[in-house]
């Protein structure tokens, strides 16, 4: 028998969440600071927002152990790193900007990092490099494209991702621009 939280229904994402082993390292929710880059599109409704420094985080129930990298949620895209990892990531070939992290009190305190946080310094590792995916070789398809604002959405792949060498400039760390959302 599968049990879902109120509001959850069976789909690929909920199944992945249910199949996850217990978290070995702590993860967090990125709760701010958000900045709107433009008004929502009149056609599709998408308004571009980005996270701006400092990164405001709230530790989530997961683990009390902080790794060299901690992520926002189990499928995170936003890493915070310890000083030892930040020292490596500050090299130019990583195309990474490091920003301060601010902590707010977690909603639930069971199985979370203690608050107020007084552990090792953590920094937001903001990857600046974007690389285009070889959509055809990766089997990624465009889900939608707004002719008014240009927002493009693709299906998301976790396996079988192909990047052409010509699309890569040698960065040691990058985000894939055409896997999921256009940015």
- Give per-residue pLDDT as tens, 76-127: 788 999 999 999 999 999 999 999 999 999 887 788 888 888 888 999 999 9
117 in the same domain as 145? no
- Above 90 in pLDDT, residue 5? no
The gap from C-alpha 47 to its chain's centroid, in whole angstroms, comes to 18
Verify that 91 and 105 share a domain, yes or no.
Answer: yes
Structural domain of residue 52, as residue ranges? 12-127
78 lies in the same domain as 145 = no
With vertex at residue 26, the alpha carbon angle to CA 31 and CA 34, rounded to the nearest 5 degrees, is 15
Phi, psi of 173 (to 5 degrees): -145, 135
d(CA 111, CA 87): 29
- The closest alpha carbon to 76, from 161, 150, 17, belongs to 17
pLDDT above 90: percentage of residues in the chain: 28
Does this model's pTM top 0.85? My answer is no
The residue that leads in pLDDT, 35 or 84, is 84
DSSP 129-162: -EE---HHHHT--EEEE-TTT--EEE---SSS--
Q: State how many domains the chain has.
A: 2
pLDDT digits (tens, 9 = 90+) for 7-27: 444 556 656 655 656 668 888
Whether 154 and 165 share a structural domain? yes
Say whether both 45 and 134 belong to one domain.
no
Tokens, residue 125 = 């590792």
- Does residue 164 sit within a domain? yes
Residue 113 shares a structural domain with residue 137: no
Are 118 and 144 contained in the same domain?
A: no
* Higher local confidence (pLDDT), 14 or 4: 14
Average pLDDT for 148-163: 85
Q: Are residues 22 and 112 in the same domain?
A: yes
Provide the token pair at 97: 């900007």
User: In terms of domains, do 89 and 65 share one?
Assistant: yes
If asked whether residues 77 and 96 sit together in one domain, one would say yes
pLDDT at 20: 59
Domain-embedded: residue 53: yes
């Amino acid at each position: 028998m599968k049990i879902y939280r109120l509001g959850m229904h069976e789909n690929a994402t909920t199944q992945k969440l249910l199949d996850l082993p217990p978290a070995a390292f702590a993860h967090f929710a990125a709760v701010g600071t958000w900045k709107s880059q433009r008004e929502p599109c009149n056609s599709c409704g998408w308004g571009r927002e980005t996270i701006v420094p400092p990164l405001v985080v709230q530790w989530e129930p997961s683990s009390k152990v902080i790794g060299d990298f901690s992520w926002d949620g189990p499928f995170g895209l936003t890493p915070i790193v310890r000083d030892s990892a930040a020292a490596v990531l500050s090299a130019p070939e990583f195309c990474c900007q490091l920003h301060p992290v601010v902590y707010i009190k977690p909603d639930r305190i069971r199985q979370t990092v203690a608050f107020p946080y007084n552990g090792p310094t953590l920094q937001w590792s903001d990857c600046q490099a974007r690389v285009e995916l070889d959509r055809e070789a990766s089997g990624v398809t465009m889900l939608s494209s707004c002719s008014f604002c240009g927002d493009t959405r693709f299906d998301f792949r976790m396996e079988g991702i192909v990047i052409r060498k010509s699309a890569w400039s040698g960065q040691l760390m990058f985000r894939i621009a055409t896997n999921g959302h256009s940015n």
